Structure 1
Amino acid sequence: MSTMRSVQTGAVNEIAVTEIARPVPGPRDAVVRIRACGICGTDVTFLHMGGAPFGPGGSMVPLPLGHEPAGEIVEVGTEVSGLSVGDRVVVNPQGAPSGIIGCGGPLGAMSEYLLVENAVVGESVAVFPDTLPFDVAALNEPMAVARHCVNRSAATPSDKVVVFGAGPIGLGATIWLKLRGVEHVVVVDVLPERLETALAVGADAVVDSATEDLTARLTELHGQAANALGQPRPGTDIYIDAAGAPAVFNAAVDNAKWGARLVMVAVQKKSDAIDLGGMLRSELTLIASQGYPTEIFEVTPELAEHQQRFAKLISHRVPFAEAEQAFELVLTPGAAEKVVVTFDDADDARS
């Protein structure tokens, strides 16, 4: 039996690189040799938990990790159409019938090979051109999350937008906003290196909220307006929360003008400090953004077209042979912006 290496949760805050059976496709399946896979904050959440609560009585069990893959087709089932060996593909982790890849299902993409169940082009898998590097293609899934957030915002070119959080989703949202023609996008964070990246990918201005007066800076950048009570507020039209901290939510509420919109795309940390009542002062519209109902493969051709801009989101490229170090990076606050694990021919040849 052929085997492969796969990453799953180990002890709390640790991974385990395990040897498991290499997948064999059924007639409607395909097998992808993974060439790059991003590490997501969701992976970190599972590592903090030490697995997933799927065992008896809710006990923790090991969970296969990885849901941001790019690779090439190496096997195709007899009933699969539109795919050929050698095609470079990205995968929809939510398209697996057995469960979300790397997020509770039995399959994980941080592996040398991945089974694509019910391989249907445009639903579970999409082909991308040879001109798009695998590491940038591995951004497809998080950029779909960012694209859905921007779609939910309904931003127009005349809008003035603030993005809180210069992680991959916030920066991805910034790129999509500018490609959408939005007039002015400000990115807010507390890490100077992330703010530098924000400017590099097209943000019109940045604010270091640890050292600058947010309200004063937004008023300077977006002009002055008022809330529903006539109190002065910055002229920002849309706030995007890609950070998930209660302080961010409250900052949007405190600064919102009459009729502003707040889009939440980050996983929110529970807190009694959130000022929901303050939303009345501006008739603030709260919009939730979850996943990518239609965007998962809508973004793929644009990712290829604008690959140089998206490539700036990747701070670290780490070989699969050093997977432990890759996950140590993402577990260390502030150590990395976006880590992509790469799989070279030497890694694949052993299977």
Structure 2
Amino acid sequence: MLASIVTGPGTAEVVETPRPHTGPADVLIRMRACGVCGSDGFYIDIGGLPPRQGHTPLGHEPAGEIVEIGADVTGLRVGDHVVINPMAQPSNIIGNGGDSGALADYLLIENAVRGVSLEVIPDHIPWEVAALNEPMAVARHAVNRCHPKPTDKVVIFGAGPIGLGSVLGFKSLGVSHIVVVDLIPARLHKALQIGADAVINSAEDDVIARLIDLHGPGEAMFPGKAGTDIYLDAAGAPAVIDTALAAAKKGATLAVVAVHKKPVPIEFVNVMSNEITILGSIGYPDEIFDVTSDLVENWEIYQLIVSHMIPFSNVAEALSLASTPGAADKVVVTFGDDA
């Protein structure tokens, strides 16, 4: 079979590898779609991850079809459409430094257990939507970390896949008002399409003033704060942290799910005096299949997040596009029936 593998710093190649052998507790998945994550570009830049630097398989946002099933596996059958938990096997994390990746013709799921390592989805769900399950779980965990109440007013910085997924996550929990901030008009339009109540173009508008217009003034030691309860950073820019803390009222929460590649200074007197909660979010300890039912029920809305579908035969183009800032929202690699 063919697989996309990091072969050195700045280089990813499609190479021929042995098709996996299906053991009695395993299932073999024929890949149908795999999303491209920003971390894939990072792995390529640094030449892969230990212990497989120079030979790191790529792809950790998989959806596919079961084509072989071990004799000891229960609750699954050949032909099932499934979404996959790439973190289910700590010794072999799919596409994140393990010995297998989902940007390949086939993917072996060892010790396959429904609801733990993979979950079945209805056949009518488009493959590109199914491939959103993993990043949407990342977004849902960030939302859950904020412990939102229906009465909360929320602002999300960044209208990329995680930011848009967070809109849907907050909406699913009944949050009353959600604002999305971004620099790109097309992304802001998409945020409104999927259910944001308002958007702010930070290249054109005073973000704090607009938040006060939308959410009212907030109680704080000093004036000029917004009534926003939750600030979610899904952009990863230092200006987001500065803006959120400058706007935050007493008791507000700032959550960070975006990756910041450099340290960001914080003025802690403001944090202390207004008792602001700052928290981080990574991965999906419990959410990988919690999000699946909402994805299935509202797949037509989730489908709006996908901006590009590129066949595996052009996977290099997909990886390049996803690594180019502003070039794409969500890139999904698709696989044909002849894999």
Report the TM-score range of the alignment, normalised by the length of the smaller protein: over 0.9
Corresponding residue of 1:77: 70
2:277: which partner in 1?
A: 285
AA in 1 matched with 2:150: P
One-letter amino acid of the counterpart of residue 267, structure 2: D
Q: TM-score, normalised by structure 2?
A: 0.97
Tell me the residue number matched to 1:234. Answer: 226
5 Å matches for 1:9-88? Answer: 9-54=6-51, 60-88=53-81
Query: Is residue 95 of structure 2 the alignment partner of residue 102 of structure 1?
Result: yes
Q: How many residue pairs get matched?
A: 339
Residue 194 of structure 1: aligned partner: 187
Q: Which amino acid aligns with 2:324?
A: T
Once residues 35 and 70 of structure 1 are traced to their aligned partners in structure 2, the CA distance between those partners, rounded to angstroms, is 6
1:298 and 2:295 equivalent?
no
Kindly indicate whether the alpha-carbon contact (under 8 Å) linking 2:61 and 2:102 is maintained by their aligned counterparts in 1.
Answer: yes
Whether 1:244 aligns to 2:244 is no
Q: Which amino acid aligns with 1:332?
A: T
Matching residue's letter, 2:39 = T
Q: Deviations over 1:71-129 (max 9, x none)?
A: 00000111111111000001100012532110011110111000001100010010001
2:133 matches 1:148 = no
Partners of 2:319 and 2:11 in 1: CA distance = 8
Q: TM-score, normalised by structure 1?
A: 0.94
1:266 paired residue number: 258
Q: Deviations over 1:167-217 (max 9, x none)?
A: 101100001111221111000111111111111111111111111101110
Give the SS at the match of 1:197.
helix
Q: Secondary structure at the match of 1:329?
A: helix
The equivalent residue for 2:267 is: 275
SS in 2 for 1:337: coil
User: Superposition RMSD on alpha carbons, in Å?
Assistant: 1.3
CA deviation after TM superposition for structure 1 residue 232, in Å: 2.9
Match of 2:174 among 169, 181, 192: 181
Q: Structure 2: 5+ residue runs without aligned partners?
A: none
For the 8 Å contact 1:246–1:269, the answer to whether it is kept is no
CA contact (8 A) 2:38 2:323 kept: no
SS at the partner of 1:232? coil
Sort the Cα spacing of 1:106 and 1:131 in 2 relative to 1 into closer, same or farther, 3 A. Answer: same
Q: Deviations over 1:1-25 (max 9, x none)?
A: xxx0000113433321010000111
